[in-house]
Structure 1
Amino acid sequence: MAGLVWGFPLAESTVSPLTQSRGGSDPDLGLLYDINGLAKDAPSWLDRTMEFVGEYGIMLALVLLVLWCWWSVRRRGTAEDSVGAVAGLVWAPLAAGIALLINIPIRGFVERPRPFLDHQGIEVLVSGKTDYSFVSDHATMAMAVGAGLFVAHRRFGLAGIGLALAEGFCRVYMGVHYPTDVVGGFALGTAVVLLLAPLALALLTPLVSAVAASGRAGRLVRSRRASPFAADRHETLGIPEPRTEGSGTGENDLAA
Structure 2
Amino acid sequence: MAGLEAGSPVSETTGEPGPDVDLLYDINGLTAGTPHWFDRVMEWTGEYGTVFALLLLVVWCWWSVRKRPDAPLAVAGLVWAPLATGLALLVNIPIRNFVERPRPFLDHQGLKVLVDGKTDYSFVSDHSTMAMAMAVGVFVVHRRFGLAAIFLAVLAGFCRIYMGVHYPTDVIGGFALGTAVTLLLAPLAMAMLTPLTRTVAGSRAGWLVQSRAARAAGPRGGSAGTHPAEDHESNLAA
CA shift, 1:153, in A, is: 1.2
Matching residue of 2:88: 99
Matching residue of 1:77: 68
CA shift, 1:19, in A, is: 4.8
CA contact (8 A) 1:154 1:236 kept: no
Secondary structure at 1:47 match in 2 = helix
TM-score normalised by structure 2 residue count = 0.87
Secondary structure at 1:225 match in 2 = helix
RMSD of aligned Cα (Å)? 1.9
List per-residue Cα deviations over 1:99-134 (Å, max 9, x = no partner).
Answer: 000000000000000000000001100000000000
* 2:34 is aligned with 1:55: no
CA contact (8 A) 2:57 2:149 kept: yes
Deviates more, 1:85-94 or 1:146-155: 146-155
* 2:213 is aligned with 1:225: yes
Rounded Cα–Cα distance in structure 2 between residues aligned with 1:102 and 1:20: 35
Matching residue of 1:190: 179
% identity of equivalent residues: 67
List per-residue Cα deviations over 1:220-242 (Å, max 9, x = no partner).
Answer: 0111133628xxxxx9313479x
Match of 1:65 among 57, 60, 65: 57
* 2:124 is aligned with 1:124: no
Task: Structure 1: give runs of 5+ residues left out of the alignment.
Answer: 1-16, 230-234, 242-256
Letter in 2 for 1:66: V
Secondary structure at 1:120 match in 2 = coil
Rounded Cα–Cα distance in structure 2 between residues aligned with 1:240 and 1:157: 16
CA contact (8 A) 1:77 1:228 kept: no
Bigger helix share: 2
Letter in 1 for 2:68: G
Letter in 2 for 1:31: L
Q: How many residues get paired?
A: 217
List per-residue Cα deviations over 1:12-38 (Å, max 9, x = no partner).
Answer: xxxxx9556235530000000000001
TM-score normalised by structure 1 residue count = 0.81
Letter in 1 for 2:88: A
CA contact (8 A) 2:7 2:109 kept: no
